[in-house]
Amino acid sequence: MGTVQGSTQQITLSRRLSGIARYVLLAIPLLFLAVFFLLPLGLTILVGFFERAGFWIRPAFTLAAYQAFLGGPRLFVLQRSLFVAAEVTVLALALAYPMAYFLSMHVRPQVTRTVLLLFTVPFVVNYVIRNFSWAYLLSRTGPVNRLLEALHLTAGSLDWLLYSDFSVLVGLISSYMPFMIYPLWLALAGVDRRLIEASWVLGAPPLLTFLRVTLPLSIPGIFTALIFGFVGSFGESAVPIILGGVGYQLMGNTITSALDVLNYPLAAAMSSIVVVVMLLFLAAWYLLFDVPAFLGKIVRWRV
């Protein structure tokens, strides 16, 4: 009897310790999220309602910073940033989806992992250095202009290759398109091949099978890729400065410009609006798609 009671107590104690360990493990990421995301975000939103006092700021519940942003020329910057981010996202998706489709459907898994690993190699280099490399490649005396002249495709150097919308698009797409490939590949690799084969058996041509089976099943990956591309390019600051030239304003470098002149409330107000836009996208993704099922694919792939 005493042995049974001892075993029961040990099992109960083990379950309690296991429960405590789960709460501790859960507390670590929650604490990290609270300290490094929620606290700075709360302070940013709070500072947006402060007012300037010389070289410093002071608490005051005022909407002056938001009015200065939404009622001034910086609103055009917001509209332009939204347009550029949408443009970059669509173009990057048009490039990333075929790559992800080919890797998931027509390439052996070992080769796919190698190619996906190669997409991470550029990120070993600092992103500022990568953008300066693009500035050299697209400059008047850079390799691209020289190659076009050597092939007699142009009579002289093309000025619009650098410090233009084109160079900003190139920089943003090269920066964020690799991030879009991974969720696309993940979604396409998780498509049940039996559904595709069933479509073929029923006589559907490849294009119809893609439109009716593969594409709908890969929509969660497409939406995730859209978030990665849009959110990243919407808040980018280095690319418009390095590849857009003087006066090329997007939200990222406009916020840094406000910080340079010590206008912290204005920078906080603009940052808050950018964060709200990003959170709206994340909330839409969470509400529209089965997130646990999507993350489950990652777990299965890692296993």
pTM here is 0.79
Q: Whats the size of the chain, residue-wise?
A: 303
Q: Which residues contact 240 (CB under 8 A, 6 or more apart)?
A: 168, 248, 249, 250, 252, 253
pLDDT at 37 over 90: no
Q: pLDDT digit string (tens) for 249-288?
A: 888 888 888 888 888 898 999 899 888 888 887 787 777 7
Residues 117-164 pLDDT 10s: 888 888 888 888 888 899 999 988 889 999 998 988 888 888 888 888
How far, in Å, CA of 86 to CA of 105, rounded? 28
User: Averaged over 189-214, what is the pLDDT?
Assistant: 89
Which tens digits make up the pLDDT trace of 75-113?
A: 888 889 999 999 999 999 999 999 999 999 888 888 988
- Residue 53 forms beta bridges with which residues? 56
User: What is the secondary structure of 181-197 as a DSSP string?
Assistant: HHHHHHHHHTS-HHHHH
Average pLDDT (206-217) is: 89
pLDDT at residue number 290: 61
Q: How confident is the model at residue 219 (pLDDT cuts 50, 70, 90)?
A: confident
